[in-house]
């Protein structure tokens, strides 16, 4: 039996003595996209940070392909083939677009081999390779963060609120790229989102986090999913 790409069991995590996640369990298969949905403050970002290793679990475990990586430092998780695109704009503002992109690969040869893939996904990044990253628009900076992750050719992507602040056309572009990456490379994707239509358009399954607990799970293609989830996402 093939182990899931990612398995979270009984995960409890938070900050200091403050518990944010409570007994969360989920699994993500090879080449699968799982959308974790919920309003602000429900623990979605905390889940990704704990999986990546920025936070150590208070209880429970995180496993990659059957190997326990609970509390493992983020750089080791990255070496295991996991790319993390946080909600924050984590770029080096004073470096060029190309210099930021090169941080996602180990050497110049690998960069040369993989950079061409951006022509199909985010060609603007190649067009603006010499431009200082801090002068890009907010949407372009999101493209840069995603492009850097894609160049690492990860086996698992952890994506936090990539649609936030983007124009509808750019959200559609992100959906196309993530679908193509999954289909082309078999990449598994755990994406946390508030944009319901975007999440359901790319995901195989969904899970809803509410006050740090999973309260709903289902198939993204279920005709009733949008209605059920709309109730959970109401402010």
- pLDDT tens readout for residues 111-135: 888 888 888 888 888 888 899 998 9
Which among 101, 208, 219, 94 is positioned nearest to 149, based on CA atoms?
A: 101
Same domain, 116 and 215: no
Q: What is the pLDDT of residues 25-49, one digit of tens each?
A: 999 999 999 999 998 889 999 999 9
Q: Do β-strands 33-37 and 18-28 pair in parallel, antiparallel, or remain unpaired?
A: unpaired
Same domain, 161 and 73: yes
List the structure tokens of 32: 């699968």
Same domain, 149 and 219: no
pLDDT of residue 118: 83
Residue position matching structure tokens 């992109």: 101
Per DSSP, the chain holds a count of helices (H) and strands (E) of 10, 10
pLDDT of residue 105: 84
> What's the rounded mean pLDDT across residues 156-177?
91
In a domain, 86, yes or no: no
Q: Is the pLDDT of residue 72 over 70?
A: yes
Write out the DSSP string of 124-180. Answer: HHHHTTTSBGGGS-HHHHHHHHHHHHHHT--SEEEEE-TTTT--HHHHHHHHHHHHH
Cα 102 to the center of its chain, rounded Å: 20
Structural domain boundaries enclosing 126: 91-153
CB-based contact 50:57 (threshold 8 Å): yes
pLDDT confidence bin for 223, thresholds 50/70/90? confident
**DSSP at 93:** T
Same domain, 30 and 73: yes
Which among 182, 232, 216, 230 is positioned nearest to 26, based on CA atoms?
A: 216
List the structure tokens of 230: 């709309």
How much of the chain exceeds pLDDT 90, in percent? 58
Same domain, 147 and 192: no
Of the candidate ranges 89-93, 96-100, 162-166, 210-214, the one whose mean pLDDT is the lowest: 89-93
Which residues have CB under 8 Å from 209's CB, separation 6+? 24, 36, 37, 38, 42, 43, 44, 47, 215
Q: Is the pLDDT of residue 235 over 60?
A: no
Range among 12-16, 87-91, 220-224 with highest mean pLDDT value: 12-16
pLDDT of residue 18: 94
Same domain, 102 and 205: no
Four-residue CA torsion sign, 107, 151, 68, 59: positive
Among 138, 153, 168, residue at a domain's last position: 153
Which among 223, 162, 220, 210 is positioned nearest to 39, based on CA atoms?
A: 210
Same domain, 105 and 209: no
- Would the pTM of this model clear 0.85, i.e. be above it? yes
Of the candidate ranges 26-40, 53-67, 77-91, 168-182, the one whose mean pLDDT is the lowest: 77-91
* CATH code for the domain of 8: 3.40.50.300
Of the candidate ranges 92-96, 152-156, 174-178, 224-228, the one whose mean pLDDT is the lowest: 224-228
Same domain, 69 and 166: yes
pLDDT of residue 124: 87
Q: Is the pLDDT of residue 1 over 50?
A: no
Which among 152, 93, 94, 160 is positioned nearest to 118, based on CA atoms?
A: 152
Q: What is the pLDDT of residues 50-68, one digit of tens each?
A: 999 999 999 999 999 999 9
Looking at every residue in the chain, the average pLDDT score rounds to: 90
């Amino acid at each position: 039996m093939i182990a899931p790409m990612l398995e979270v069991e009984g995960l409890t995590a938070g900050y200091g003595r403050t518990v944010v996640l409570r007994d969360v369990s989920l699994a993500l298969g090879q080449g699968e996209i799982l959308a974790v949905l919920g309003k602000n403050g429900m623990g979605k970002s905390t889940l990704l940070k704990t999986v990546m290793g920025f936070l150590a679990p208070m209880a429970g475990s995180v496993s990659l392909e059957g190997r326990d990586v609970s509390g493992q430092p983020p750089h080791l998780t990255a070496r295991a083939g996991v790319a993390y695109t946080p909600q924050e704009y984590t770029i080096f503002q004073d470096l060029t677009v190309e210099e930021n992109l090169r941080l996602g690969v180990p050497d110049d040869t690998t960069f040369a081999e993989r950079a061409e893939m951006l022509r199909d996904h985010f060609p603007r990044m190649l067009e603006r390779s010499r431009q200082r990253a801090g002068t890009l628009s907010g949407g372009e900076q999101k493209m840069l963060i995603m492009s850097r992750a894609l160049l690492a050719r990860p086996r698992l992507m952890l994506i936090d609120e990539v649609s936030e602040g983007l124009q509808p056309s750019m959200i559609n572009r992100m959906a196309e790229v993530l679908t193509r990456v999954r289909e082309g490379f078999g990449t598994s994707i755990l994406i946390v989102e508030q944009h319901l239509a975007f999440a359901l358009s790319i995901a195989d399954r969904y899970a809803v986090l509410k006050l740090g607990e999973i309260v709903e799970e289902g198939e993204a293609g279920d005709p009733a999913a949008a209605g059920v989830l709309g109730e959970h996402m109401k402010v």
